[in-house]
Amino acid sequence: PLKKYFLGQETPPNKRVTTCQKCIRTPDIENVGKTARHGTYFEMLGNFSFGDYFKKESTRWAWEFITEVLKMPVDRLWVSIYEEDDEAFDIWVNEVGVAPERIVRMGKEDNFWEIGSGPCGPCSEIYFDRGEEYGCGKPDCGVGCECDRYVEFWNLVFSQFDSDGEGHYSRMEHANIDTGMGLERLACIMQGVDNLFEVDTVKNILNHVSRIANQPYKADEKKDVSIRVITDHIRSTTFMIADGVMPSNEGRGYVLRRLLRRAARHGKLLGIDRPFLYEVVDTVIGENEVAYPELREKESYIKKLIRVEEENFARTIDKGMELLADMLSGMKEGDALSGEAAFRLYDTFGFPIDLTREIVAERGVGLDEAAFNRLMEEQRSRAREARNRGEIIGWTDHALDFLGQGSTSFVGYDTLVHDGKVLGILKDGEEAPAAAAGDEVTVVLDVTPFYAESGGQAADAGMLTGPEGRVKITDCKKDRTGYFLHTGVVESGAVTAGDTVKAEVDSVRRRATMRNHTAAHLLQAALRKTLGDHVHQAGQLVNSERMRFDFSHFEAVTPNQLAEIENEVNRVVLEAVPVAVYETDLPTAQKEGAMALFSEKYGDIVRVCKIGDESMELCGGTHVHNTAELGLFKIVSESSVAAGVRRIEAVTGGGVLKLLHETEQTLREAAAAAKATPAELAGKIRAQAAELKDLQHKLAAHTAADVAAQAESIVKAAVPVGSVRAAGAKLPDLEPNALRQMGDLLRDKYPDLVAVICSQANGKCSMLCVCGKDAVAAGAHAGNIVREVAALAGGRGGGRPDSAMAGIPDPAKLGDALAELVPVVTKVIGG
């Protein structure tokens, strides 16, 4: 963050600065948990001089701080310098008083700082000897050894040269100082603990992990590595999310995703079979909230985001792990997993290659990464080709050949009508000298006011009018070399290569599109204001009808928030804020605070769209001149697109009017249908609903009364058989379910009754026999009775003693069958 001061692009707030900075460093990731001194997250303390004090002061003060303030024993301290930096040697020995044998000279790789061109210089590092017990025991173990005995904890960088990036160094007039001291490494030394993760403020996180894993720390070295990896990764990811990083498949979002996945996998290695990382966030926040209160503010957001990642990953990993285990099962140490296998895991299961790499390494198996990379590259180029094919309708390389290298110059930011020369015509995928009425064509012009689809803004439509005819343009795309491809139909006459045509953009449509594009910028600003700085554009589509804006945010935007966002955008609309669009270079734009898309690659010259103090974004699209042109802004919907990505659709200007008209129309139709005025509509609907409910109650009561009456008439006709009564009846048009309900009623209400009731509905005839409690006690059995009675009408059935059903294929014989009921019941009871 301070580079701009070193480069002189900006004036620092002070010539002397001290900092404490959060750092994420992943080149050390393989070491994390294994060495005592590496984390992916740490806090770096630094002191800086921008052309103020230099080598002598920084060296003396560093020594004073560690020996007099921190009181580190001098006999444990070592110093390294760049091999050619005699000046540093002289200062350490003669000014500071360090014993010459404690100073080690090292090469450019270790002790010279440079990144490309610009300020650079030698550095000098201070080491603490933690004692022989931490050493590797090799005879040449010493400062610079990869083991954990000599720990570098402070690096003093003397940026005294300006490099041209090609090996030429010139001494700078105002040399700078840039130092970095890892807070965790320092604490580790001062507290005399074994590693970074046992430092007091980190240890509680480690303990939390070990509790969840039910795995005591320091019982099993391999498990300890996993516990430390999780401890580290949950710290880094918590801070990254709090700082606005979202998991994704590229850039820093991928760094975050990878760390979370790695931590989740180490959880699995510890036998944890559920999402758990989000729980550990509690302890991370508890240990850090005093210095970083924003962690507590974003607590629920951080936890939710981590939890969703864990759950998604669990699904991926389970499938992938199983498959990988299969692939590895037949292999022995020294074998290598094929690139095809690794690619299949990646391609079909989304199983990350880093994970495959780590797992095979743990098994002592190799991995054919060259083959994997080749397959990845092939896939990428396939995707690229498909994209090109899809994007450029009917355009082929052949067509590009005849045009050669070149491009169309776009004048549509400033004008909507312009003359252009027809450079080429494409018809049916072939170059054509001319096209006539009815032909579908693609026309390339040297100059055009037509906006070609890009950055989410839809293409312009309009008309090309030449000396001999007109082409109605419905789409416009940019090809790889920069030609604008206008696609449409020749409406009348003909168009010939070489013609000069008047290219005219449909201005109503374009202006509507511009309104929606400017609205998208205002929406993003309002979202960040209302929901927080984690909101970033994740995709957008603006055309003349509406705007669709996707953004990173974790939960549904509430109706209240939506109202607030809508009001905020409309405030800016109604304040009639001027919109300035201008070109500048990227560093200047960034310095001024323009928002850029993280994944986007920008050229040296960028376009900035600045809406007063409300919004500032890099943007190649077209915009209105004043926010008042939007008329009004109305959100139409809010929804989810993917985990952590929400979508808002909205309209402006004529779109709002159209929406109003539609709503009005719907309301009018509803009112007409309800025979009310719009104002009476709600009351009328409430009254009708109440009335309907009342009628339903009444109907139900009537039905119940009907059924009861029917049941009574069945019982009236019952014939006594011993201690029970038997009744048979044919009932009209009852579905089997209604028949069963009737049966239940008879059985429950008349305990001594044996009833056989039949009914025909939908062409199917069913017979049901029910026996009341006392009837069953007297020996009646519905299953047996229905079997015999149904058999008389050609049917089959059976069931429980109190209720049984049969199908009757021959309803004509029902009467005869029911006539036999009394003898059958007599027989069943008697038997």
Site of interaction with ligand ATP (CB under 6 A): 25, 28, 37-39, 42, 44, 152-155, 180-182, 184-185
Are the C-beta atoms of 121 and 175 separated by less than 8 Å?
yes
Choose among 116, 148, 118: nearest CA to 133: 148
Give the ranges where 330-368 is alpha helix by DSSP (H): 339-349, 353-362
User: H/E/C letters for each residue in 82-146?
Assistant: ECCCHHHHHHHHHHHCCCHHHEEEECHHHHEECCCCEEEEEEEEEEEECCHHHCCCCCCCCCCCC
Question: Which residues make Cβ contacts (< 8 Å) with residue 669, sequence separation at least 6?
Answer: none
Q: Compute the least distance from the CB of residue 157 to ligand ATP, in Å.
A: 8
Q: Compute the least distance from the CB of residue 140 to ligand ATP, in Å.
A: 17
- Name the DSSP class of 723: T
Pick the closer one to ligand ATP by CB: 28 or 368: 28
Choose among 158, 179, 154: nearest CA to 56: 158
Q: Within 10 Å of residue 655's Cβ, how many Cβ atoms?
A: 24
**Secondary structure (DSSP) of 658-684:** HHHHHHHHHHHHHHHHTTS-GGGHHHH
β-strands 469-478, 462-465: how paired?
Answer: antiparallel
Q: Compute the least distance from the CB of residue 430 to ligand ATP, in Å.
A: 59
Pick the closer one to ligand ATP by CB: 232 or 566: 232
Pick the closer one to ligand ATP by CB: 189 or 611: 189
Compute the residue count for the chain.
831
In the block, tokens 């990464």 appear at: 369
Q: Compute the least distance from the CB of residue 485 to ligand ATP, in Å.
A: 50
Are the C-beta atoms of 74 and 67 separated by less than 8 Å?
yes
Pick the closer one to ligand ATP by CB: 149 or 265: 149
Rg of the chain, C-alpha, whole Å: 41
Q: Compute the least distance from the CB of residue 179 to ligand ATP, in Å.
A: 8
Give the residue nearest to ligand ATP (CB).
182
Pick the closer one to ligand ATP by CB: 37 or 266: 37
Q: Within 10 Å of residue 686's Cβ, how many Cβ atoms?
A: 10
Q: Compute the least distance from the CB of residue 334 to ligand ATP, in Å.
A: 30
Pick the closer one to ligand ATP by CB: 44 or 302: 44
Pick the closer one to ligand ATP by CB: 37 or 418: 37
Q: Which amino acid is at 84?
A: E
CA angle at 607 for the pair 604 and 611, rounded to the nearest 5°: 145
Pick the closer one to ligand ATP by CB: 228 or 546: 228
806: β partners: 767, 797
Pick the closer one to ligand ATP by CB: 39 or 631: 39
Q: Compute the least distance from the CB of residue 229 to ligand ATP, in Å.
A: 13
CA distance 624 to 517: 8
CA distance 479 to 400: 9
Are the C-beta atoms of 714 and 702 separated by less than 8 Å?
no
Q: Compute the least distance from the CB of residue 73 to ligand ATP, in Å.
A: 19
* Residue 460 token pair: 């312009």
Backbone angles phi, psi at 438, to 5 degrees: 95, -20
Pick the closer one to ligand ATP by CB: 152 or 198: 152
Q: Compute the least distance from the CB of residue 180 to ligand ATP, in Å.
A: 4
Q: Compute the least distance from the CB of residue 216 to ligand ATP, in Å.
A: 25
CA dist list (Å): 528 to 322, 580, 810:
42, 21, 76
Pick the closer one to ligand ATP by CB: 28 or 649: 28
CA distance 178 to 159: 7
Q: Compute the least distance from the CB of residue 152 to ligand ATP, in Å.
A: 5
Q: Compute the least distance from the CB of residue 126 to ligand ATP, in Å.
A: 8
Are the C-beta atoms of 772 and 779 separated by less than 8 Å?
no
Helix (H, G, I), strand (E, B) or coil at 394: coil
Q: Distance from CA of residue 167 to its chain's centroid?
A: 44
Pick the closer one to ligand ATP by CB: 105 or 319: 105
Q: Compute the least distance from the CB of residue 54 to ligand ATP, in Å.
A: 19
Q: Compute the least distance from the CB of residue 442 to ligand ATP, in Å.
A: 54
Choose among 500, 507, 564: nearest CA to 531: 564
Pick the closer one to ligand ATP by CB: 27 or 330: 27
Are the C-beta atoms of 10 and 1 separated by less than 8 Å?
no
Pick the closer one to ligand ATP by CB: 156 or 435: 156
Helix (H, G, I), strand (E, B) or coil at 280: helix
